[in-house]
Structure 1
Amino acid sequence: MKVMIIGNGGREHALAWKISQSPLVEKIYCIPGNGGTFNENKCENVYIDNIHDIKEFAKNNNIALTIVGPEKYLVEGIVDEFEKDSLKIFGPDKRASMLEGSKSYAKNFAKKYNVQTPEYSVFNKLDDAIEKIKEVKYPVVIKADGLAAGKGVIIAKNYEEAEKALYDFMENKIFEEAGKTVVIEEYIEGYEMSVFVLVDGENYKIFQTAKDHKKIFEGEKGPNTGGMGAISPHPLLNETLFENIKQKIIKPTIKGIKEEKSNYKGILFIGLMIKNNEPYLLEYNVRFGDPETQAMLPLLENDIAKIFLKTVEGKLNEVELKWKNKVSCCVVAASNGYPGKYEKGYEININTEEIVFHAGTAIKDNKLITNGGRVLSLVTMEDTLEKAQEKAYEEISKISFKGIYYRKDIGKL
């Protein structure tokens, strides 16, 4: 069959790499793809970006299955459009995508269905939000309501930082319309965990866990990024915690999705804060995470094309997931200056045999060049986390481009 993957990041290259291993798949169209998918087995990059043209391409090229990478297309309703023409597509509809598209919707959903989550208030007037931060306990979390490329969350240590965040979001509109409504949330001290759940509208399967490293600098310092590295599975997951996550987070979430009559056939990414083995929902994402996907997919032994088809067809109960008994470490190499201003167009040299997933890369004059903030990620798999880390840093030193930057502490807890 022919498959289409929408998106141009490391997550989409990882999906293309994994899907290309399926004997069911003869051709993969990457919309628009990147320098990595350009050279990937069975893949062809196609430069179209609006939903109407993507749908027409799917119809004209007999695409059997479409996988949506970025949240933007899901929130804009690409699934609804495809389903009007009975085209198979992996991802939730526009209504269900509000779980990621609006932080206030997600928090209200969690409250309604008893999903354990930090206390919060929602504001769409700056003056009211300012009054709130005069009385809160610090630190406090301030979130832009809409999509902000993973950068719309500030942990304010004091009133001054909270006030600056509110002015930036609501008045200076650094995230445009995404920040006109804000969520002010209780800060919970603990450690983060990403949990991925396959949902087929009726059944669910816990896919995998991971730990993301969001900040640009070592020790989780500096501004937020889209993610500077990940490890999988999460090393601190234990049986008690796993049971708590199922009972207090996943089951009520699935119940809520059904009761809201949302059409959800895809992956649900649940961002958690863990304190004393108790999970608290921080956010929902309605797609695979980046760079968690790059860390997780090499560990999967199943044919992922088959898993995606079963999910779309509502037959997840027929799937038994199989994982390698290994630990993966994914380190992201970024352009100097990211997540602020950075230059691109520098030649990339890769001299490692380990798995490398491309993100901000392109092909120009037959050369691989930098074309984004997060340029690529290198993934290693070993029997222990320590070995995977050691190997990752040994191997990423064999990749070079002008201004290469990566954190040296991915996987250190």
Structure 2
Amino acid sequence: MDNVIVVDYSGRGHAIADLFVRTDPGVTVHYLPGCEAIKQDRIVSQPQLAFDDPAPMVQYARDVSADLVLVGHPRALAAGYSDRFLEAGFPVISPTERAAMLETSKDYTKRLCAKYGIKTAAHRTFDDADEAIDHIREVGAPIVIKGDTSCQGNGVFVCHTVRDAVAAVERLMVSRDFGSGGDRVVIEEFLDGKELLYFALVGGDNYLLLPSAVDYPRSEDGNQGPMCGGMGAFSPAPYETYTDVKRFERQMMRPLMTAIAGEGLDYFGFIYLDCMLVGDQLYLIEINARMGDPEAEVVLPRITSDFGATCTALLDGRVQPLTISDEHFVDVAATQGPTPGYQGWPYGTVGRGYPITGLDTLTPETCRVFYGAARTLADGTLATDGGKCLHFTGRGATRAEARANAYRGIAGVHFAGIRYRTDIAEAMPWD
């Protein structure tokens, strides 16, 4: 394999691109649009290719004679980019627009779970804000409110009071803080348990389980603040045990594969199952039709075998097992916090273009940086460009060592408004 296309522009996308080049010394990854700030051998970004039309990306793939395409970003998956590459004749290890409905419509996935006997929280779906609010007042709290479609990781509200639940519906459906993601809302029962994350690489009727991870979805230390798509993660998780994995396969993965086949979804690519363990029973919270961010930054570095060959085998209907390292990885996201005139991510408007300094102090063998919302200014200065700017991924023989390396790395880096949680891989997110 000579040329791989990765469609993304996040820390997750960088981790995917890094996985290909790290495990195959002969491959070049064309990262579209990517991040021009990445200066890594055999990862080539093309920032002129935006997420407004797949046609130029398909033409670029023709120009470089791409051997494989992986679409990693949820916006591109929802817009059918995988379909456009498939129509052009490229091997694609990403779900089609129809298969990605497992992520792009929570209501669709709820109905699929009911049809195939997959446990999930009881729910109702609403198109009308007043009806949704009436339902909340009838059933009370705690309760969970979700935008039916993508809200870029920010459309889930775990509400412990009726007042908070009503406010969540108003943000989603009335003030439309999350755009079209609030066209419909799914309101579901609150499950009191332990949230467990599982990942797999699916190829038609086959799948390979990936390493486990624990993520930190809330914005503030002590698991406070809004849900924001992840401030950090670590791998392996405490539940990466034979018993836990077999329970997941029995209660979730195999029934889901039956459902995928039964619906003719013909699924290829990453899949991410967010589950709640209540007693000895797993309940499906939601599905992502791709890797998570920041989970990718700790899961994918543990893969040491040729990932391109594994993808090709799945596309051919074969299973080539992955080789997984026992090392520990801890990711801490450096985000764009408040600066003069801006509330900062994830609370509101975000300032951009603040110079980033200190990356030259890192020791790559113990702490890697995966680039998210960062860019290179006209004068060559590295600067911030949004919410989750940089991911600092420490590695070590133990979680404590990996954590120390991650925080040692991030401590030497600075930009205006830098903000990060200080308790990643220390306190558990379910505590």
TM-score (normalised: structure 1): 0.95
| Secondary structure, counterpart of 2:299 in structure 1 | helix
User: Secondary structure, in 3 states, of the residue corresponding to 1:377?
Assistant: strand
Structure 1 match to 2:295: 292
What's 2:286 paired with?
A: 283
Instruction: Give the 5 Å matches for 1:224-239.
Output: 224-239=227-242
Indicate the SS of the match to 1:89.
Answer: coil
Give the count of matched residue pairs: 410
1:211 Cα offset (Å)? 0.9
**Sequence identity, in percent?**
30
2:312 maps to which of 309, 312, 325: 309
1:244 to 2:251 alignment: no
Q: 2:133 aligns with which of 130, 134, 138?
A: 130
Give the equivalent residue in structure 2 for 1:3: 4
Distance across 1 between alignment mates of 2:213 and 2:191 = 19
Distance 1:403 1:188 in 2: 36
Which residue of the partner structure matches residue 410 of structure 2?
396
Q: Which of the numbers 341, 365, 375 marks the counterpart of 1:362?
A: 375
Which of 336, 352, 355 is matched with 2:362 structurally? 352
After superposition, residues 329-348 of structure 1 pair within 5 angstroms as: 329-336=330-337, 337-339=344-346, 340-348=348-356
Deviation at 1:137, TM superposition (A): 4.3
Q: Can you list the C-alpha shifts for 1:295-352, whole angstroms capped at 9, x where unaligned? A: 112211111222222233332x2x1111111221111111112112222212212111
Q: Is 1:378 matched with 2:388?
A: no
Residue aligning to 1:180: 183
Q: CA RMSD in A?
A: 1.5
Whether 2:156 is the aligned partner of 1:153: answer: yes
Change (3 A) 1:104 1:322: same
**Conserved in 2, the CA contact under 8 Å of 1:36 and 1:359?**
no
Runs of at least 4 residues off by over 3 Å: 22-26, 236-240
Q: Is the 8 A contact 1:229 1:331 kept in 2?
A: yes
- 1:105 is paired with a residue of what secondary structure? helix
Structure 2 residue identity aligned to 1:274: L
1-side partners of 2:61 and 2:238: how far apart?
40
In the TM superposition, what whole-angstrom CA distance separates every residue of 1:219-264 from its partner, at most 9, and x where no partner exists?
A: 1111121210001121134433322211111111110001100121
Q: Cα distance, 1:275 vs. partner?
A: 2.5
Contact 1:13 1:36 in 2 (8 A): no
Q: Provide the rounded CA distance (Å) in 2 between the counterparts of 1:343 and 1:243.
A: 46
Residue in structure 2 matched with residue 23 of structure 1 by the alignment: 24
Distance 1:327 1:279 in 2: 25
CA distance in structure 2 between the partners assigned to 1:59 and 1:369 by the alignment: 32
Task: Label 1:126 to 1:342 Cα distance change in 2 as closer, same or farther (>3 A).
Answer: closer
Question: Structure 1 residues 303, 133: closer, same or farther in 2, change over 3 A?
Answer: same
In 2, the alpha carbon distance for the partners of 1:178 and 1:366 equals 36
User: Does structure 1 retain, via aligned residues, the 8 Å contact 2:334–2:390?
Assistant: yes
Q: Which residue of 1 aligns with 2:199?
A: 196
Letter in 1 for 2:407: Y
Superposition deviation, residue 23 in structure 1:
3.4
1:409 and 2:423 matched: yes
> Partner of 2:321 in structure 1?
320
Which residue number corresponds to residue 81 of structure 1? 84
Change (3 A) 1:71 1:20: same
Alpha-carbon spacing, 1:409–1:35, altered in 2? closer, same or farther (3 Å): farther
- Given that residues 211 and 324 in structure 2 are in contact (C-alpha distance below 8 angstroms), is that contact kept between their aligned partners in structure 1? no
Contact 1:151/1:225, CA 8 A, preserved across alignment: yes
Distance (whole Å) between structure 2 residues aligned to residue 77 and residue 17 of structure 1: 24
Corresponding residue to 1:267 among 267, 270, 276: 270
CA distance 1:95–1:148, shift in 2 (3 Å): same
Distance 1:366 1:252 in 2: 51
Question: Residue 42 of structure 1 aligns to which amino acid in structure 2?
Answer: R
Residue by residue over 1:347-397, the C-alpha shift from the partner in whole angstroms, topping out at 9 and shown as x without a partner, is 212111121111111112122111121110111122222222222212221
Bigger Cα displacement from structure 2, 57-66 vs 382-391 = 382-391
**Which of residues 201, 204, 208 in structure 2 aligns to 1:205?**
208
Counterpart for residue 45 of structure 1: 45
The SS at the match of 2:165 is helix
For 1:135, what is the secondary structure of its paired residue?
helix
Q: Distance in 2 between matches of 1:180 and 1:26?
A: 42
Q: Which 5+ residue runs of structure 2 have no aligned equivalent?
A: 338-343
